Structure 1
Amino acid sequence: MKNKIHFIVNPIAGKGKNKLPVALVEAYFPKENYEVFIKETEFIGHATALTELSIKEGAQIIVACGGDGTINEVACCLVNTQVILGILPMGSGNGLASNLKIPKNLKKALSIIKKQNAIEIDTASINGEPFFSNAGIGFDAHVISDFEENTTRQLFSYVKSTFRTLKKYNYKNVVELNYNGITERLSPFLLFISNSNEMGYKMSLTPRASLQDGLLDVIIVPKLSTFKLFLFAVLFLFKKHHWLKEVRFQQVKNLEIKSLDDSILKIQRDGESILQKHSNIIIEILPNSLNICVKKV
Protein backbone atom coordinates (compact mmCIF):
# COMPACT_ATOMS: atom_id res chain seq x y z
CA MET A 1 0.00 0.00 0.00
CA LYS A 2 1.29 3.45 -0.91
CA ASN A 3 2.07 5.97 1.81
CA LYS A 4 -0.24 8.97 1.71
CA ILE A 5 1.46 12.30 2.30
CA HIS A 6 -0.46 15.57 2.16
CA PHE A 7 1.18 19.01 2.01
CA ILE A 8 -0.76 22.02 3.32
CA VAL A 9 0.89 25.13 1.87
CA ASN A 10 0.29 28.69 3.05
CA PRO A 11 1.34 30.73 -0.01
CA ILE A 12 1.39 34.04 1.88
CA ALA A 13 3.40 32.94 4.94
CA GLY A 14 6.65 34.79 5.56
CA LYS A 15 7.48 36.93 2.53
CA GLY A 16 4.30 35.79 0.80
CA LYS A 17 5.78 34.01 -2.22
CA ASN A 18 5.64 30.37 -1.20
CA LYS A 19 5.41 27.64 -3.80
CA LEU A 20 6.00 23.93 -3.42
CA PRO A 21 7.13 22.59 -6.82
CA VAL A 22 5.36 19.35 -7.70
CA ALA A 23 8.41 18.02 -9.52
CA LEU A 24 10.60 18.51 -6.46
CA VAL A 25 8.12 16.76 -4.17
CA GLU A 26 7.77 13.84 -6.58
CA ALA A 27 11.57 13.51 -6.72
CA TYR A 28 11.51 12.71 -3.02
CA PHE A 29 8.20 10.87 -3.01
CA PRO A 30 7.88 8.96 -6.33
CA LYS A 31 4.41 8.00 -7.50
CA GLU A 32 5.12 4.28 -7.41
CA ASN A 33 5.57 4.41 -3.62
CA TYR A 34 3.59 7.44 -2.46
CA GLU A 35 0.28 9.18 -2.93
CA VAL A 36 1.07 12.87 -2.68
CA PHE A 37 -1.43 15.73 -2.48
CA ILE A 38 -0.52 19.42 -2.35
CA LYS A 39 -3.19 21.80 -1.05
CA GLU A 40 -2.93 25.59 -0.80
CA THR A 41 -4.70 27.67 1.81
CA GLU A 42 -6.84 30.64 0.77
CA PHE A 43 -7.84 32.24 4.09
CA ILE A 44 -7.21 32.14 7.85
CA GLY A 45 -8.43 28.84 9.24
CA HIS A 46 -8.35 27.12 5.85
CA ALA A 47 -5.33 25.00 6.84
CA THR A 48 -7.41 23.42 9.60
CA ALA A 49 -10.26 22.60 7.22
CA LEU A 50 -7.82 21.12 4.68
CA THR A 51 -6.13 19.06 7.39
CA GLU A 52 -9.43 17.66 8.61
CA LEU A 53 -10.21 16.63 5.02
CA SER A 54 -6.77 15.05 4.65
CA ILE A 55 -7.35 12.97 7.79
CA LYS A 56 -10.64 11.70 6.32
CA GLU A 57 -8.76 10.88 3.11
CA GLY A 58 -6.40 8.63 5.06
CA ALA A 59 -3.23 10.73 5.10
CA GLN A 60 -0.49 9.17 7.21
CA ILE A 61 1.74 12.27 7.19
CA ILE A 62 0.44 15.82 6.90
CA VAL A 63 3.06 18.49 6.24
CA ALA A 64 2.52 22.08 7.36
CA CYS A 65 4.25 24.40 4.90
CA GLY A 66 4.35 27.86 6.45
CA GLY A 67 5.12 29.56 9.76
CA ASP A 68 4.08 28.87 13.33
CA GLY A 69 0.51 30.03 12.63
CA THR A 70 0.13 27.51 9.79
CA ILE A 71 1.71 24.80 11.91
CA ASN A 72 -0.79 25.57 14.66
CA GLU A 73 -3.76 25.24 12.28
CA VAL A 74 -2.53 21.89 10.96
CA ALA A 75 -1.21 20.41 14.20
CA CYS A 76 -4.33 21.22 16.22
CA CYS A 77 -6.10 18.50 14.22
CA LEU A 78 -3.35 15.94 14.86
CA VAL A 79 -3.13 16.09 18.66
CA ASN A 80 -3.71 12.64 20.18
CA THR A 81 -3.87 10.95 16.76
CA GLN A 82 -1.51 8.58 14.95
CA VAL A 83 -1.11 10.95 12.02
CA ILE A 84 2.43 12.34 11.82
CA LEU A 85 3.14 16.05 11.41
CA GLY A 86 5.85 17.18 9.01
CA ILE A 87 7.13 20.74 8.74
CA LEU A 88 8.49 22.75 5.82
CA PRO A 89 9.45 26.10 7.41
CA MET A 90 8.21 28.91 5.15
CA GLY A 91 7.22 31.54 7.71
CA SER A 92 8.90 34.59 9.13
CA GLY A 93 9.92 33.37 12.58
CA ASN A 94 9.68 29.56 12.36
CA GLY A 95 10.14 29.12 16.12
CA LEU A 96 8.95 25.51 16.44
CA ALA A 97 10.89 24.35 13.37
CA SER A 98 14.05 26.01 14.66
CA ASN A 99 13.60 24.38 18.08
CA LEU A 100 13.33 21.00 16.32
CA LYS A 101 16.34 21.81 14.09
CA ILE A 102 14.29 21.54 10.91
CA PRO A 103 16.13 23.62 8.28
CA LYS A 104 14.55 26.22 6.00
CA ASN A 105 16.34 24.60 3.06
CA LEU A 106 13.50 22.88 1.22
CA LYS A 107 15.47 19.83 0.07
CA LYS A 108 16.90 19.16 3.52
CA ALA A 109 13.48 19.53 5.13
CA LEU A 110 11.93 17.14 2.58
CA SER A 111 14.68 14.61 3.36
CA ILE A 112 13.69 14.69 7.04
CA ILE A 113 10.06 13.97 6.15
CA LYS A 114 11.05 11.13 3.82
CA LYS A 115 13.06 9.39 6.58
CA GLN A 116 9.94 9.50 8.81
CA ASN A 117 11.89 9.63 12.05
CA ALA A 118 8.96 10.55 14.30
CA ILE A 119 9.05 11.47 17.96
CA GLU A 120 6.34 12.36 20.45
CA ILE A 121 6.32 15.92 21.76
CA ASP A 122 4.25 17.75 24.33
CA THR A 123 1.56 20.17 23.26
CA ALA A 124 -0.45 22.66 25.30
CA SER A 125 -3.87 24.24 25.32
CA ILE A 126 -5.37 27.58 26.28
CA ASN A 127 -9.05 27.18 27.23
CA GLY A 128 -9.06 23.98 25.19
CA GLU A 129 -7.47 25.51 22.07
CA PRO A 130 -4.11 23.86 21.25
CA PHE A 131 -0.80 25.65 20.92
CA PHE A 132 2.63 24.21 20.30
CA SER A 133 5.34 26.84 20.81
CA ASN A 134 4.11 29.56 23.15
CA ALA A 135 1.29 31.78 24.29
CA GLY A 136 1.45 35.20 25.87
CA ILE A 137 -0.67 37.71 27.72
CA GLY A 138 0.47 41.29 27.92
CA PHE A 139 3.32 42.98 26.14
CA ASP A 140 4.22 40.24 23.65
CA ALA A 141 0.56 39.92 22.58
CA HIS A 142 0.51 43.66 21.86
CA VAL A 143 3.78 43.36 19.90
CA ILE A 144 2.30 40.55 17.80
CA SER A 145 -0.83 42.62 17.16
CA ASP A 146 1.33 45.51 15.94
CA PHE A 147 3.53 43.13 13.92
CA GLU A 148 0.50 41.70 12.11
CA GLU A 149 -0.29 45.16 10.78
CA ASN A 150 3.03 45.25 8.91
CA THR A 151 3.08 44.24 5.26
CA THR A 152 6.63 42.87 5.55
CA ARG A 153 7.24 40.09 8.05
CA GLN A 154 10.90 40.02 8.92
CA LEU A 155 13.15 40.49 11.95
CA PHE A 156 13.54 44.24 11.52
CA SER A 157 9.74 44.60 11.45
CA TYR A 158 9.55 42.67 14.72
CA VAL A 159 12.15 44.92 16.34
CA LYS A 160 10.26 48.02 15.16
CA SER A 161 7.00 46.60 16.53
CA THR A 162 8.70 45.94 19.88
CA PHE A 163 9.86 49.53 20.33
CA ARG A 164 6.67 50.98 18.84
CA THR A 165 4.66 48.99 21.38
CA LEU A 166 6.93 50.10 24.22
CA LYS A 167 6.09 53.73 23.45
CA LYS A 168 2.33 53.24 23.51
CA TYR A 169 1.86 50.26 25.82
CA ASN A 170 -0.50 51.11 28.65
CA TYR A 171 -1.54 48.25 30.88
CA LYS A 172 -3.86 48.40 33.84
CA ASN A 173 -5.13 44.83 33.92
CA VAL A 174 -5.01 43.12 37.32
CA VAL A 175 -4.92 39.34 37.21
CA GLU A 176 -4.85 36.49 39.69
CA LEU A 177 -2.48 33.63 38.93
CA ASN A 178 -2.88 30.10 40.28
CA TYR A 179 -0.04 27.62 39.73
CA ASN A 180 1.84 24.98 41.73
CA GLY A 181 -0.37 25.67 44.75
CA ILE A 182 0.51 29.38 44.64
CA THR A 183 -1.98 32.23 44.25
CA GLU A 184 -0.77 35.74 43.49
CA ARG A 185 -2.17 38.99 42.15
CA LEU A 186 -0.32 41.40 39.90
CA SER A 187 -0.61 43.85 37.06
CA PRO A 188 1.59 42.04 34.54
CA PHE A 189 3.84 43.63 31.99
CA LEU A 190 4.32 40.14 30.58
CA LEU A 191 3.01 36.63 31.13
CA PHE A 192 4.67 34.27 28.69
CA ILE A 193 3.95 30.55 28.66
CA SER A 194 6.25 28.39 26.55
CA ASN A 195 6.38 24.79 25.43
CA SER A 196 9.46 25.30 23.23
CA ASN A 197 12.66 27.25 23.73
CA GLU A 198 12.30 29.57 20.74
CA MET A 199 9.90 32.30 19.69
CA GLY A 200 11.35 32.65 16.19
CA TYR A 201 14.32 34.49 14.70
CA LYS A 202 16.49 32.54 17.19
CA MET A 203 15.06 34.67 20.02
CA SER A 204 13.94 33.17 23.31
CA LEU A 205 12.33 34.24 26.56
CA THR A 206 12.50 30.69 27.97
CA PRO A 207 15.80 29.10 26.84
CA ARG A 208 15.44 26.11 29.18
CA ALA A 209 12.02 25.04 27.89
CA SER A 210 11.73 21.54 26.44
CA LEU A 211 9.17 19.93 24.14
CA GLN A 212 9.50 16.62 25.98
CA ASP A 213 9.63 17.37 29.71
CA GLY A 214 5.90 17.43 30.45
CA LEU A 215 6.14 21.01 31.74
CA LEU A 216 5.43 24.54 30.58
CA ASP A 217 7.97 27.27 31.25
CA VAL A 218 6.43 30.52 32.45
CA ILE A 219 8.08 33.92 32.65
CA ILE A 220 6.34 36.44 34.91
CA VAL A 221 7.22 40.13 34.67
CA PRO A 222 5.22 42.58 36.82
CA LYS A 223 4.50 46.20 36.04
CA LEU A 224 7.75 48.05 35.34
CA SER A 225 8.88 51.65 35.28
CA THR A 226 9.41 53.27 31.86
CA PHE A 227 13.18 52.96 32.23
CA LYS A 228 13.00 49.27 33.13
CA LEU A 229 10.59 48.63 30.24
CA PHE A 230 13.23 49.78 27.77
CA LEU A 231 15.96 48.00 29.73
CA PHE A 232 13.99 44.75 29.55
CA ALA A 233 13.54 45.14 25.78
CA VAL A 234 17.26 45.75 25.24
CA LEU A 235 18.31 42.89 27.52
CA PHE A 236 15.86 40.57 25.75
CA LEU A 237 17.39 41.34 22.35
CA PHE A 238 20.75 40.23 23.81
CA LYS A 239 19.22 37.22 25.60
CA LYS A 240 20.04 38.69 29.00
CA HIS A 241 16.56 39.58 30.26
CA HIS A 242 17.07 37.27 33.24
CA TRP A 243 19.49 39.88 34.60
CA LEU A 244 16.52 42.02 35.58
CA LYS A 245 15.60 41.14 39.18
CA GLU A 246 11.85 41.56 38.53
CA VAL A 247 11.89 38.72 35.97
CA ARG A 248 10.74 35.39 37.45
CA PHE A 249 10.60 31.90 35.97
CA GLN A 250 8.32 29.00 36.88
CA GLN A 251 7.69 25.52 35.51
CA VAL A 252 4.08 24.35 35.66
CA LYS A 253 1.73 21.66 34.41
CA ASN A 254 -1.18 24.06 34.43
CA LEU A 255 -1.82 27.72 35.04
CA GLU A 256 -5.03 29.61 35.73
CA ILE A 257 -5.28 33.32 34.95
CA LYS A 258 -8.25 35.33 36.18
CA SER A 259 -8.89 38.91 35.08
CA LEU A 260 -10.01 40.65 38.26
CA ASP A 261 -11.34 43.72 36.46
CA ASP A 262 -13.34 41.60 33.95
CA SER A 263 -11.45 43.15 31.04
CA ILE A 264 -10.75 41.15 27.88
CA LEU A 265 -7.08 40.20 27.80
CA LYS A 266 -5.12 40.47 24.57
CA ILE A 267 -3.47 37.11 23.85
CA GLN A 268 -1.08 35.68 21.30
CA ARG A 269 -0.94 31.97 20.55
CA ASP A 270 1.92 30.64 18.43
CA GLY A 271 2.61 34.13 17.14
CA GLU A 272 -0.96 34.92 16.12
CA SER A 273 -3.30 37.33 17.91
CA ILE A 274 -6.51 35.82 19.25
CA LEU A 275 -9.49 37.42 20.93
CA GLN A 276 -10.09 35.81 24.31
CA LYS A 277 -13.66 36.49 25.36
CA HIS A 278 -13.32 34.91 28.79
CA SER A 279 -11.92 36.58 31.89
CA ASN A 280 -10.83 33.15 33.17
CA ILE A 281 -8.03 31.40 31.28
CA ILE A 282 -6.82 27.82 31.82
CA ILE A 283 -3.51 26.77 30.28
CA GLU A 284 -2.45 23.11 30.45
CA ILE A 285 0.31 20.83 29.21
CA LEU A 286 -0.60 17.72 27.18
CA PRO A 287 2.41 15.37 27.42
CA ASN A 288 3.48 13.21 24.47
CA SER A 289 0.43 14.16 22.41
CA LEU A 290 1.81 14.89 18.94
CA ASN A 291 3.86 12.76 16.54
CA ILE A 292 6.29 14.83 14.48
CA CYS A 293 9.07 14.20 11.95
CA VAL A 294 12.48 15.36 13.13
CA LYS A 295 16.09 15.01 12.09
CA LYS A 296 17.87 11.94 13.45
CA VAL A 297 20.62 12.84 15.89
Structure 2
Amino acid sequence: MKHIHFIINPIAGSGNNVFTGDTLHKYFEKDKYKLTIKLSDHKKHAIELTKQSINEGATIIVACGGDGTVNEVASCIVGTSIRLGIIPTGSGNGLASNLNIPKTIEKAVALIKQENVTKIDVGTINEHYFFSNAGVGFDANVIKNYEASNQRTLYNYIKASLKSFRELNKQKKIKINMDNKTILVNPFMIFVSNSNELGYKISLTPKASLQDGLLDTIIIPKISKLKVILFGALMLFRKHQILKETQISQTKSMHLLRVKGSVFEAQIDGELYHIEEKDITISLKEKSLNVITT
Protein backbone atom coordinates (compact mmCIF):
# COMPACT_ATOMS: atom_id res chain seq x y z
CA MET A 1 0.00 0.00 0.00
CA LYS A 2 1.32 3.42 -0.96
CA HIS A 3 1.44 6.06 1.74
CA ILE A 4 0.75 9.55 0.38
CA HIS A 5 0.66 12.71 2.49
CA PHE A 6 -1.06 15.91 1.37
CA ILE A 7 0.23 19.19 2.82
CA ILE A 8 -2.45 21.77 2.03
CA ASN A 9 -2.33 25.54 2.26
CA PRO A 10 -6.04 26.39 2.56
CA ILE A 11 -5.51 30.12 1.93
CA ALA A 12 -3.46 29.74 -1.26
CA GLY A 13 -4.95 31.38 -4.33
CA SER A 14 -8.69 31.84 -3.81
CA GLY A 15 -8.47 30.60 -0.22
CA ASN A 16 -10.86 27.69 -0.72
CA ASN A 17 -8.40 24.84 -1.00
CA VAL A 18 -9.76 22.48 1.63
CA PHE A 19 -9.60 18.84 0.63
CA THR A 20 -11.50 16.25 2.57
CA GLY A 21 -10.85 12.55 2.80
CA ASP A 22 -14.01 11.93 0.81
CA THR A 23 -12.81 14.28 -1.94
CA LEU A 24 -9.47 12.53 -2.29
CA HIS A 25 -10.78 9.01 -1.98
CA LYS A 26 -12.81 9.63 -5.10
CA TYR A 27 -9.47 9.46 -6.88
CA PHE A 28 -7.43 7.09 -4.68
CA GLU A 29 -8.62 3.53 -4.12
CA LYS A 30 -8.68 2.80 -0.40
CA ASP A 31 -7.23 -0.68 -0.87
CA LYS A 32 -4.19 0.70 -2.70
CA TYR A 33 -3.46 4.02 -1.01
CA LYS A 34 -3.19 5.28 2.54
CA LEU A 35 -3.84 9.03 2.59
CA THR A 36 -2.91 11.54 5.26
CA ILE A 37 -4.16 15.13 4.99
CA LYS A 38 -2.57 18.04 6.85
CA LEU A 39 -3.45 21.74 6.74
CA SER A 40 -0.85 24.46 7.21
CA ASP A 41 -2.07 27.59 8.97
CA HIS A 42 0.93 29.92 9.02
CA LYS A 43 4.17 30.63 7.21
CA LYS A 44 6.71 27.78 7.56
CA HIS A 45 4.10 25.50 9.13
CA ALA A 46 4.30 23.27 6.03
CA ILE A 47 7.96 22.63 6.91
CA GLU A 48 6.98 21.24 10.31
CA LEU A 49 4.17 19.16 8.79
CA THR A 50 6.45 17.74 6.10
CA LYS A 51 9.08 16.71 8.64
CA GLN A 52 6.36 14.89 10.56
CA SER A 53 5.29 13.14 7.36
CA ILE A 54 8.86 12.01 6.68
CA ASN A 55 9.02 10.48 10.16
CA GLU A 56 5.67 8.81 9.53
CA GLY A 57 7.02 7.00 6.47
CA ALA A 58 5.45 8.91 3.60
CA THR A 59 6.77 7.83 0.20
CA ILE A 60 5.02 10.65 -1.68
CA ILE A 61 4.34 14.08 -0.22
CA VAL A 62 2.02 16.34 -2.17
CA ALA A 63 2.24 20.13 -1.82
CA CYS A 64 -1.18 21.69 -2.39
CA GLY A 65 -0.73 25.44 -2.76
CA GLY A 66 1.45 27.96 -4.57
CA ASP A 67 5.20 28.27 -4.99
CA GLY A 68 5.67 29.20 -1.34
CA THR A 69 3.98 26.00 -0.14
CA VAL A 70 5.90 23.95 -2.70
CA ASN A 71 9.13 25.49 -1.44
CA GLU A 72 8.44 24.63 2.20
CA VAL A 73 7.52 21.02 1.41
CA ALA A 74 10.23 20.40 -1.18
CA SER A 75 12.96 21.94 0.99
CA CYS A 76 12.51 19.09 3.46
CA ILE A 77 12.95 16.29 0.93
CA VAL A 78 15.88 17.53 -1.19
CA GLY A 79 18.41 14.72 -1.51
CA THR A 80 15.98 12.00 -0.38
CA SER A 81 14.12 9.29 -2.29
CA ILE A 82 10.75 10.78 -1.32
CA ARG A 83 8.80 11.97 -4.34
CA LEU A 84 7.18 15.40 -4.48
CA GLY A 85 3.72 15.75 -5.93
CA ILE A 86 2.18 19.13 -6.67
CA ILE A 87 -1.44 20.22 -6.84
CA PRO A 88 -1.12 23.88 -7.86
CA THR A 89 -3.75 25.97 -6.09
CA GLY A 90 -1.75 29.17 -5.63
CA SER A 91 -1.92 32.43 -7.48
CA GLY A 92 1.24 32.17 -9.59
CA ASN A 93 2.22 28.47 -9.65
CA GLY A 94 5.43 29.14 -11.58
CA LEU A 95 7.17 25.83 -10.86
CA ALA A 96 4.07 23.75 -11.59
CA SER A 97 3.60 25.58 -14.87
CA ASN A 98 7.23 24.97 -15.83
CA LEU A 99 6.71 21.26 -15.11
CA ASN A 100 3.42 21.18 -17.10
CA ILE A 101 1.43 20.13 -14.04
CA PRO A 102 -2.27 20.84 -14.66
CA LYS A 103 -4.20 23.21 -12.42
CA THR A 104 -7.33 21.09 -12.17
CA ILE A 105 -7.33 18.81 -9.12
CA GLU A 106 -8.56 15.78 -11.04
CA LYS A 107 -5.81 15.99 -13.67
CA ALA A 108 -3.09 16.77 -11.11
CA VAL A 109 -4.17 13.76 -9.04
CA ALA A 110 -4.12 11.52 -12.13
CA LEU A 111 -0.54 12.65 -12.71
CA ILE A 112 0.42 11.76 -9.13
CA LYS A 113 -1.03 8.27 -9.55
CA GLN A 114 1.08 7.71 -12.67
CA GLU A 115 4.23 8.44 -10.62
CA ASN A 116 6.43 9.55 -13.52
CA VAL A 117 9.44 11.01 -11.70
CA THR A 118 11.81 13.69 -12.95
CA LYS A 119 14.96 14.70 -11.09
CA ILE A 120 15.37 18.49 -11.06
CA ASP A 121 18.08 20.90 -9.98
CA VAL A 122 17.64 22.87 -6.76
CA GLY A 123 18.97 26.35 -6.10
CA THR A 124 20.46 27.37 -2.77
CA ILE A 125 20.75 30.83 -1.26
CA ASN A 126 22.81 30.41 1.90
CA GLU A 127 20.86 27.84 3.96
CA HIS A 128 17.63 28.28 1.99
CA TYR A 129 16.50 26.29 -1.05
CA PHE A 130 14.72 27.69 -4.07
CA PHE A 131 13.13 25.77 -6.89
CA SER A 132 11.89 28.54 -9.20
CA ASN A 133 13.80 31.74 -8.51
CA ALA A 134 15.30 34.13 -5.99
CA GLY A 135 16.09 37.81 -6.17
CA VAL A 136 17.35 40.95 -4.50
CA GLY A 137 16.11 44.39 -5.45
CA PHE A 138 12.88 45.37 -7.16
CA ASP A 139 11.31 41.89 -7.23
CA ALA A 140 11.99 41.40 -3.51
CA ASN A 141 10.37 44.75 -2.76
CA VAL A 142 7.34 43.76 -4.85
CA ILE A 143 6.97 40.58 -2.78
CA LYS A 144 7.32 42.62 0.41
CA ASN A 145 4.43 44.85 -0.62
CA TYR A 146 2.47 41.88 -2.01
CA GLU A 147 2.66 40.01 1.30
CA ALA A 148 1.55 43.15 3.14
CA SER A 149 -1.67 43.18 1.10
CA ASN A 150 -2.71 39.80 2.62
CA GLN A 151 -4.44 38.83 -0.62
CA ARG A 152 -2.71 36.71 -3.26
CA THR A 153 -4.36 37.93 -6.45
CA LEU A 154 -3.01 39.31 -9.73
CA TYR A 155 -4.67 42.64 -8.94
CA ASN A 156 -2.80 42.91 -5.65
CA TYR A 157 0.43 41.86 -7.34
CA ILE A 158 0.01 44.75 -9.78
CA LYS A 159 -0.72 47.11 -6.88
CA ALA A 160 2.41 45.88 -5.09
CA SER A 161 4.44 46.45 -8.25
CA LEU A 162 3.16 50.02 -8.55
CA LYS A 163 3.97 50.72 -4.91
CA SER A 164 7.48 49.33 -5.40
CA PHE A 165 7.84 51.55 -8.45
CA ARG A 166 7.13 54.58 -6.26
CA GLU A 167 9.72 53.32 -3.74
CA LEU A 168 12.57 52.99 -6.24
CA ASN A 169 16.15 54.02 -5.46
CA LYS A 170 16.25 52.55 -1.95
CA GLN A 171 18.68 49.76 -2.80
CA LYS A 172 22.19 49.72 -1.29
CA LYS A 173 25.38 48.90 -3.16
CA ILE A 174 26.19 45.23 -3.58
CA LYS A 175 29.44 43.61 -4.71
CA ILE A 176 28.81 40.69 -7.05
CA ASN A 177 31.36 37.97 -7.75
CA MET A 178 30.48 35.55 -10.54
CA ASP A 179 32.69 33.44 -12.78
CA ASN A 180 35.87 35.12 -11.49
CA LYS A 181 34.53 38.59 -12.26
CA THR A 182 33.62 41.22 -9.66
CA ILE A 183 31.33 44.18 -10.13
CA LEU A 184 29.97 46.80 -7.72
CA VAL A 185 26.37 47.70 -8.40
CA ASN A 186 23.51 49.68 -6.92
CA PRO A 187 20.95 47.21 -8.27
CA PHE A 188 17.53 47.69 -9.68
CA MET A 189 17.39 43.91 -9.81
CA ILE A 190 19.56 40.86 -9.19
CA PHE A 191 17.47 37.89 -10.30
CA VAL A 192 18.54 34.24 -10.26
CA SER A 193 16.34 31.58 -11.79
CA ASN A 194 16.21 27.81 -11.93
CA SER A 195 12.97 27.65 -13.92
CA ASN A 196 11.52 29.38 -16.95
CA GLU A 197 8.48 31.02 -15.38
CA LEU A 198 7.64 33.42 -12.56
CA GLY A 199 3.93 32.64 -12.57
CA TYR A 200 0.98 34.21 -14.37
CA LYS A 201 2.79 33.05 -17.55
CA ILE A 202 5.38 35.81 -16.99
CA SER A 203 9.03 34.93 -17.54
CA LEU A 204 12.32 36.74 -17.09
CA THR A 205 14.34 33.65 -18.04
CA PRO A 206 12.39 31.83 -20.78
CA LYS A 207 15.39 29.66 -21.70
CA ALA A 208 16.06 28.44 -18.15
CA SER A 209 15.97 24.71 -17.50
CA LEU A 210 15.38 22.73 -14.32
CA GLN A 211 17.86 20.09 -15.48
CA ASP A 212 20.79 21.86 -17.16
CA GLY A 213 22.97 22.29 -14.06
CA LEU A 214 23.00 26.06 -14.50
CA LEU A 215 21.33 29.10 -12.96
CA ASP A 216 20.08 31.85 -15.27
CA THR A 217 20.88 35.32 -13.95
CA ILE A 218 19.72 38.84 -14.72
CA ILE A 219 21.56 41.82 -13.29
CA ILE A 220 20.21 45.31 -13.90
CA PRO A 221 21.88 48.31 -12.25
CA LYS A 222 19.94 51.32 -11.06
CA ILE A 223 17.86 52.71 -13.93
CA SER A 224 15.48 55.63 -14.36
CA LYS A 225 11.76 55.28 -13.72
CA LEU A 226 11.15 55.69 -17.43
CA LYS A 227 13.38 52.71 -18.15
CA VAL A 228 11.66 50.72 -15.40
CA ILE A 229 8.37 51.28 -17.24
CA LEU A 230 10.03 50.25 -20.50
CA PHE A 231 11.47 47.15 -18.83
CA GLY A 232 8.02 46.18 -17.51
CA ALA A 233 6.45 46.58 -20.95
CA LEU A 234 9.21 44.58 -22.63
CA MET A 235 8.94 41.86 -19.98
CA LEU A 236 5.30 41.21 -20.92
CA PHE A 237 6.48 40.28 -24.41
CA ARG A 238 9.63 38.50 -23.17
CA LYS A 239 11.79 41.11 -24.90
CA HIS A 240 13.36 42.68 -21.78
CA GLN A 241 16.82 41.55 -22.88
CA ILE A 242 16.91 44.32 -25.48
CA LEU A 243 17.16 46.93 -22.70
CA LYS A 244 20.89 47.71 -22.89
CA GLU A 245 21.36 47.73 -19.09
CA THR A 246 20.11 44.13 -18.80
CA GLN A 247 22.98 41.70 -18.21
CA ILE A 248 21.93 38.09 -18.81
CA SER A 249 24.15 35.10 -18.16
CA GLN A 250 24.31 31.55 -16.83
CA THR A 251 26.42 30.34 -13.94
CA LYS A 252 26.78 27.58 -11.39
CA SER A 253 27.25 29.99 -8.49
CA MET A 254 27.49 33.64 -7.51
CA HIS A 255 28.38 35.58 -4.40
CA LEU A 256 26.79 38.82 -3.17
CA LEU A 257 28.42 41.05 -0.55
CA ARG A 258 26.44 43.78 1.16
CA VAL A 259 28.50 47.00 1.14
CA LYS A 260 25.95 48.96 3.17
CA GLY A 261 22.71 48.22 4.98
CA SER A 262 21.85 45.97 7.88
CA VAL A 263 20.06 43.15 6.07
CA PHE A 264 19.43 41.59 2.66
CA GLU A 265 15.78 41.62 1.67
CA ALA A 266 15.37 38.75 -0.76
CA GLN A 267 12.47 36.98 -2.36
CA ILE A 268 12.77 33.21 -2.51
CA ASP A 269 10.11 31.46 -4.60
CA GLY A 270 7.80 34.40 -4.07
CA GLU A 271 8.23 34.68 -0.30
CA LEU A 272 10.10 37.47 1.51
CA TYR A 273 13.17 36.58 3.55
CA HIS A 274 15.40 38.82 5.67
CA ILE A 275 18.96 37.53 5.44
CA GLU A 276 21.11 39.05 8.15
CA GLU A 277 24.43 37.65 6.93
CA LYS A 278 26.67 40.20 5.25
CA ASP A 279 27.08 37.99 2.21
CA ILE A 280 24.99 35.59 0.15
CA THR A 281 26.19 32.57 -1.77
CA ILE A 282 23.85 31.32 -4.49
CA SER A 283 24.56 27.93 -6.01
CA LEU A 284 22.98 24.76 -7.36
CA LYS A 285 22.44 21.15 -6.25
CA GLU A 286 22.07 19.24 -9.48
CA LYS A 287 19.18 16.78 -9.91
CA SER A 288 18.57 16.53 -6.18
CA LEU A 289 14.76 16.55 -6.02
CA ASN A 290 12.39 13.86 -7.27
CA VAL A 291 9.22 15.45 -8.68
CA ILE A 292 6.20 13.71 -10.15
CA THR A 293 5.62 15.27 -13.57
CA THR A 294 4.11 14.50 -16.94
CA deviation profile, 1:132-165 (whole Å, cap 9, x unmatched):
1100000000001111122432222212221221
Task: Give 3-state SS (helix, strand or coil) of 2:184's partner.
Answer: strand
- Structure 1 unaligned regions, length at least 5: none
CA deviation profile, 1:14-55 (whole Å, cap 9, x unmatched):
121111132231122211111111111122111111110111
Conserved? CA contact 1:186–1:222, under 8 Å = yes
Q: Which residue of 1 aligns with 2:266?
A: 267
CA deviation profile, 1:203-228 (whole Å, cap 9, x unmatched):
01111110000010000101102211
Aligned counterparts, 1:122-271, within 5 A: 122-271=121-270
Separation in 1 of the partners of 2:141 and 2:151? 17
Sequence identity of aligned pairs in percent? 48
Separation in 2 of the partners of 1:194 and 1:248? 14
Conserved? CA contact 1:61–1:84, under 8 Å = yes
Q: How many residues align?
A: 294
- Residue 239 (structure 1) shift: 2.1
Q: Which residue of 2 aligns with 1:286?
A: 285
Give the stretch that moved more between structures: 168-177 or 80-89.
Answer: 168-177
Separation in 1 of the partners of 2:71 and 2:242? 32
Separation in 1 of the partners of 2:286 and 2:228? 34
Conserved? CA contact 1:171–1:189, under 8 Å = no
- Residue 237 (structure 1) shift: 2.6
- Residue 262 (structure 1) shift: 4.4
Q: TM-score, normalised by structure 2?
A: 0.97
Separation in 2 of the partners of 1:80 and 1:253? 18
CA deviation profile, 1:61-116 (whole Å, cap 9, x unmatched):
00000000000110000100000000000101000000001111000000000000
Q: Which residue of 2 aligns with 1:69?
A: 68
Q: Which residue of 1 aligns with 2:7?
A: 8
Task: Give 3-state SS (helix, strand or coil) of 2:26's partner.
Answer: helix
Q: Which residue of 2 aligns with 1:55?
A: 54
- Residue 281 (structure 1) shift: 0.3
Separation in 2 of the partners of 1:265 and 1:44? 19
Give 1:100's aligned amino acid: L
Q: TM-score, normalised by structure 1?
A: 0.96
Separation in 2 of the partners of 1:51 and 1:172? 35
Task: Give 3-state SS (helix, strand or coil) of 2:203's partner.
Answer: coil
Task: Give 3-state SS (helix, strand or coil) of 1:288's partner.
Answer: strand
Q: Which residue of 1 aligns with 2:114?
A: 115
- Residue 245 (structure 1) shift: 0.8
Separation in 2 of the partners of 1:137 and 1:161? 16
Matched, 1:82 2:81: yes
